Amino acid sequence: MSVYLDHAATTPIFDVAVKAMTDALTKVGNPSSLHTEGRSTRKDVEDARDLIAKAVGCLASEVIFTGSGTEADNAAIKGLFWKSEKKIIAISAIEHHAVLDPARWLVEHEGAELIEIPVDKSGELDLDYLKDLVAKRGSEIALISVMHSNNETGVIQPIAEVVKIAGSIPVHTDAVQSFTKTPLSYKELGVTSMALSAHKVGGPHGIGALILQRAYEIPALLHGGGQEREIRSGTLNAPAIVAFAAAAASKIYEASKVEELRERFEAGLLSSAPSAYINGVDAKRLPGISNVTFPGTQSDSLLLLMDSMKVSCSTGAACSAGVHRPSHVLLAMGHNEVSAQSSLRFSLGANSTTADVDFALSVLPTVIERGRAANQK
Amino acid sequence: MKIIAAMSGGVDSAVAAARAVEAGHDVIGVHLALASNPQKYRSGARGCCTIEDSHDARRAADKIGIPFYIWDMAEEFHEGVVENFLAEYAAGRTPNPCLRCNEKIKFAAVLDRAKAMGFDGVATGHYARTQIGAMGKTLHRAVDPLKDQSYVLAVLTTEQINGAIFPLGDTEKVDIRIEAEARGLAVAQKPDSHDICFVPSGDNAGWLRDRLGSEVGPIVDNAGNKIGEHKGAYTYTIGQRKGLGLTIPTSDGSPRFVLKIEPVTNTVVVGAREELAVSKLIGEKTIWCGPAVDEKPLRGFAQVRAHGAALDCTYYFDGTQLVAELDKPLLGIANGQALVIYDGDRVVGSATICESA
Say yes or no: A31 contacts chain B, CB-CB below 8 A: no
3-class secondary structure for chain A?
A: CCEECECCCCCCCCHHHHHHHHHHHCCCCCCCCCCHHHHHHHHHHHHHHHHHHHHHCCCHHHEEEECCHHHHHHHHHHHHHHHCCCCEEEEECCCCHHHHHHHHHHHHHHCCEEEEECECCCCCECHHHHHHHHHHHHHHEEEEECCCECCCCCEECCHHHHHHHHCCCCEEEECCCCCCCCCCCHHHHCCCEEEEECCCCCCCCCCEEEEECCCCCCCCCECCCCCECCCECCCCCHHHHHHHHHHHHCCCCCHHHHHHHHHHHHHHHHHHCCCCEECCCCCCECCCEEEEECCCCCHHHHHHHHHHCCEECECCCCEECCEECCCHHHHHCCCCHHHHCCEEEEECCCCCCHHHHHHHHHHHHHHHHHHHHHHCC
Query: Do residue A321 and residue B118 have CB atoms under 8 angstroms apart?
Result: no
Query: Do residue B72 and residue A304 have CB atoms under 8 angstroms apart?
Result: no
> Running DSSP on this structure, what letter comes out for residue B191?
P
Query: Do residue A323 and residue B70 have CB atoms under 8 angstroms apart?
Result: yes
Q: Which of B48, B49, B197, B313 is catalytic?
A: B197
Can you give the pLDDT at residue B254?
87
Can you give the pLDDT at residue A23?
97
Backbone angles phi, psi at A101, to 5 degrees: -70, -40
ipTM: 0.85
Say yes or no: B37 contacts chain A, CB-CB below 8 A: no
Interface probe with A: pick from B117, B119, B120, most Cβ of A within 10 Å: B117
* Alpha carbon distance A175, A85 (integer Å): 26
Can you give the pLDDT at residue B231?
83
Contacts of A373 in chain B (CB under 8 A): 116-117
* Alpha carbon distance A269, A252 (integer Å): 27
Q: Do B70 and A321 contact (CB within 8 A), yes or no? A: yes
pTM of the model: 0.89
Side chain identity at residue A133, one-letter code? L
Closest alpha carbon to B337 in B313, B312, B302? B302
Smallest Cβ–Cβ distance between A304 and the set B51, B69, B112 belongs to: B69
Closest alpha carbon to A4 in A315, A359, A290? A359
Backbone angles phi, psi at A243, to 5 degrees: -70, -40
Query: Do residue B113 and residue A376 have CB atoms under 8 angstroms apart?
Result: no
How many CB pairs below 8 Å do chains A and B form together? Answer: 47
* Distance of residue B57 Cα from the nearest chain A Cα, in angstroms: 12
Can you give the pLDDT at residue B79?
92
Smallest Cβ–Cβ distance between A370 and the set B28, B71, B117 belongs to: B117
Helix (H) or strand (E) holding B11: helix B11-22
Name the stretches of chain A with pLDDT < 70.
Answer: 317-323, 377
Beta strand A113-117 with A88-92 is parallel
* A216: Cβ contacts below 8 Å, ≥ 6 apart: A192, A193
Query: Do residue B28 and residue A371 have CB atoms under 8 angstroms apart?
Result: no
User: Residue B327: helix, strand or coil by DSSP?
Assistant: strand
Residue in chain A closest to B54 (alpha carbons) equals A321
Contacts of A370 in chain B (CB under 8 A): 116-118
Which burial class, exposed, middle or buried, applies to A323 when counting CB atoms under 10 A from its CB (0-12, 13-18, 19+)? buried
Q: Do B105 and B76 contact (CB within 8 A), yes or no? A: yes
* Alpha carbon distance B13, A247 (integer Å): 44
> Running DSSP on this structure, what letter comes out for residue B16?
H
Residue pLDDT tens, chain B, 357 long: 999 999 999 999 999 999 999 999 999 999 998 887 666 665 555 556 688 889 999 999 999 999 999 998 988 999 999 999 999 988 888 899 999 999 999 999 999 999 999 999 999 999 999 999 999 999 999 999 999 999 999 999 999 999 999 999 999 999 999 999 999 999 999 888 777 888 878 888 888 888 888 889 999 988 888 989 888 888 888 888 888 888 888 888 888 999 988 888 889 999 998 889 999 999 999 999 999 999 999 999 999 999 899 999 999 999 999 999 999 999 989 999 999 999 999 999 999 999 999
* A210: Cβ contacts below 8 Å, ≥ 6 apart: A64, A66, A71, A72, A75, A76, A193, A194, A195, A196, A231, A232
Side chain identity at residue A266, one-letter code? E
Backbone angles phi, psi at A72, to 5 degrees: -60, -45
Contacts of A317 in chain B (CB under 8 A): none
* Distance of residue B50 Cα from the nearest chain A Cα, in angstroms: 9
Residue in chain B closest to A303 (alpha carbons) equals B69
Query: Do residue B113 and residue A323 have CB atoms under 8 angstroms apart?
Result: no
Can you give the pLDDT at residue A271?
95
Query: Do residue B113 and residue A301 have CB atoms under 8 angstroms apart?
Result: yes
> Running DSSP on this structure, what letter comes out for residue B38?
-
- Tens digits of per-residue pLDDT, A63-98? 999 999 999 999 999 999 999 999 999 999 999 999
Say yes or no: B78 contacts chain A, CB-CB below 8 A: no
Query: Do residue A321 and residue B54 have CB atoms under 8 angstroms apart?
Result: yes
Say yes or no: A9 contacts chain B, CB-CB below 8 A: no
**What is the CA B136 to chain-centroid distance, rounded?**
24
Can you give the pLDDT at residue B176?
96
* Alpha carbon distance A282, A299 (integer Å): 23
Strand extents, DSSP E, chain B: 2-6, 26-33, 68-72, 121-123, 128-133, 136-141, 164-165, 216-220, 226-231, 257-262, 267-271, 277-288, 298-303, 311-317, 322-331, 338-343, 346-356
Side chain identity at residue A326, one-letter code? P
* Alpha carbon distance A275, B48 (integer Å): 39
Q: Which of A319, A338, A353, A373 is catalytic?
A: A319
Core vs surface per residue A113-125: b (16+ CB within 10 A) or e? eebbbebbebbbb
Can you give the pLDDT at residue B262?
85
Core vs surface per residue A275-288: b (16+ CB within 10 A) or e? ebbbbbbebebbbb
Cα three-residue angle A372-A305-A200, rounded to 5 degrees: 120
> Does residue B48 carry a catalytic annotation?
no
* A11: Cβ contacts below 8 Å, ≥ 6 apart: A199, A200, A201, A202, A349, A350
Side chain identity at residue A265, one-letter code? F
Which burial class, exposed, middle or buried, applies to B134 when counting CB atoms under 10 A from its CB (0-12, 13-18, 19+)? exposed
Radius of gyration of chain B from its Cα atoms, rounded to whole angstroms: 21
Can you give the pLDDT at residue B213?
83
Closest alpha carbon to B197 in B82, B104, B312? B82
> Running DSSP on this structure, what letter comes out for residue B86?
H
Query: Do residue A304 and residue B54 have CB atoms under 8 angstroms apart?
Result: no
Smallest Cβ–Cβ distance between B117 and the set A322, A323, A374 belongs to: A374
Beta strand B277-288 with B226-231 is unpaired
Side-by-side strand order, sheet with B216-220: B226-231, B216-220, B267-271, B257-262
Query: Do residue B28 and residue A308 have CB atoms under 8 angstroms apart?
Result: yes
